[in-house]
Amino acid sequence: KVDSVQVNIMEIRLMASCFASDARADYDGVIVGPGREKLLEHFRGGVVRFKRSTHFIGGQFVERLKGNTAQVETYAIAFLVIERDGKDHVLVRGLRYRDTMVRHRGRWLIRERVHRSEWMQEHPVILNPGLPINGDFSLKWPEGWKAPPGPGGFLGCVRGMR
């Protein structure tokens, strides 16, 4: 499977190495492949749109394991930062992957992938603004922003959670 760390750091060569040399993929109706190089081109085109990326891999189910092939379904949530009208926004997407895996030289590789965005939200976001941190770990908020109520700003709210 594609390790979420590889996606998060946008290391596209490592992402492509998770696919078989003859792999094909369907990304929300965009057919890519066959071949790892075609996937690499697709990844290059996609990651340039995002300023940042964070993926959390949820449930992963091996549905059929037969010899050197397996059917795998994986759920994930992706946080993708884009710029829209000069402001940063985060796209939060619920993802589902249906993969046909093959074992090749002791490694499991993706031969076929169907990727679907199940749902999506978009919100304005502040990227790590490089805010200085006070001694109590609360942030010094930029002009026009208000810290959440409670001692210690945001972290004070977290500390108060039960």
The verdict on whether omega for the bond into residue 34 sits within 30 degrees of 0, i.e. cis, is yes
pLDDT tens digits, residue range 47-98? 668 888 888 988 889 988 889 999 999 999 999 989 999 999 999 999 999 9
**Distance between terminal CA atoms of the chain?**
35
The predicted pLDDT at position 4 comes to: 47
Burial class of residue 98, CB neighbours in 10 A (0-12, 13-18, 19+):
middle
Instruction: Average the pLDDT over 103-116 and give the result.
Output: 94
Q: What percent of the chain has pLDDT over 90?
A: 43
d(CA 45, CA 55): 18
pLDDT of 13 higher than 60: yes
3-class SS at 22? strand
CA distance 48 to 40: 13
- Given a contact cutoff of 8 angstroms between Cβ atoms, the answer to whether 106 and 134 are in contact is no
Binned at pLDDT 50, 70 and 90, residue 1 comes out as: very low
- Predicted model pTM: 0.69
Asked if residues 131 and 115 have their Cβ atoms less than 8 Å apart, the reply is no
Place of tokens 């500390």: 159
Contact 20, 112 (CB under 8 A): no
What's the average model confidence in pLDDT over 20-48?
Answer: 89
Phi then psi dihedrals of residue 65, to 5 deg:
-120, 115
Mean pLDDT of the chain: 78
Mean pLDDT for 135-145 is: 56
Does residue 37 surpass a pLDDT of 60?
Answer: yes
